[in-house]
Amino acid sequence: MKPSILVARAVFPEVLSQLAQHFEVTSNQDDVLWTPAQLIQQLQGKQGAFTTGSERISQAVLAACPDLKICANMAVGFNNFELDAMTAAGVLATNTPDVLTETTADFGFALMMATARRMAESEHFLRAGLWNRWRYDMFAGSEVHGSTLGILGMGRIGQAIAKRGAHGFGMKVIYHNRSRLDAPTEAACGAAYVSKSELLQQADHLILVLPYSPEAHHTIGAAELAQMKPTATLVNIARGGIVDDAALAAALNHGIIAAAGLDVFEGEPKVHPDLLTVPNVVLTPHIASATMSTRLAMAQLAANNLIGYLVHGKPLTPLNPQAVKA
């Protein structure tokens, strides 16, 4: 008998067909957003789950779903997983690193440029029919080429952004990370390590690419924003909760920093109402990895983790391999 799995959100039909070769598949192609109680109900009798960031795998869910052996996230982030609880319950967690690195770096850089050059603000002005003449300072933004790019979090995506800035735009690249990169990697990225305080004070454009954890909650709040240049921009393509969105809205309103670009939000898909009223922010709905080829690669990797573990006993990208009993 084939193992049973749940595909918790709509996904590519070809990925469902791939999974159906190995499993009894219950799918959610209607893309219903389940409550925790509904998720528990859907997981009954399932050995595996294909999840996205919207399905929280909590201790309560794990306790109610004793057959569950693996949750394969179609994302590189995994703050929807209570990883310690999953490990204690013997439930493997996997994610989809690498396949979205370059696409996400492209988007992060694009969002930074749109923020620096006031693209969204000027488009709204044009669409409102307010453009009737040229003026020397109309929507004059900040330079990108030759400016200082700061990166907080220097994993795969951070390094890819650094290379774009240093080699493509002649930017001075500085970064801060929990651990410093080795010298050859720094050289390849054209990046110099600085303290967090120096990063905040020196960056013309600061991009956040660090993973979310309870320790990273509100890494950027009012105190950190106050250390930045009033001409600086802030871009968050990491995770909601890393930035205090209320403090950011206040900083934008009061000219503490010049502008921000956000692809992720606290409590998304809800957005802090104050962010919707400030003009100097570019807002996108968590789409940094959204190209068809990249999203397909993410889905296929999540599927291959399910197949690799439940069929062959070898997951491809485990987050907590210690959950597997020897």
Question: Which residues belong to the active site?
Answer: 239, 268, 286
The Cα–Cα gap between 205 and 226 comes to 15
The Cα–Cα gap between 244 and 113 comes to 22
Integer angstrom CA distances of residue 224 from 111, 133, 206, 227, 257: 21, 38, 12, 5, 11
Q: Which long-range contacts (CB under 8 A, 24 or more apart) does 116-122 make?
A: 116/141, 116/142, 116/143, 116/144, 116/205, 116/233, 116/259, 117/141, 117/142, 117/144, 118/259, 118/280, 119/282, 120/281, 120/282, 120/283, 121/279, 121/280
Backbone angles phi, psi at 94, to 5 degrees: -135, 160
Instruction: Tell me 230's DSSP state.
Output: T
Q: Which helix (H) or strand (E) holds 40?
A: helix 36-43
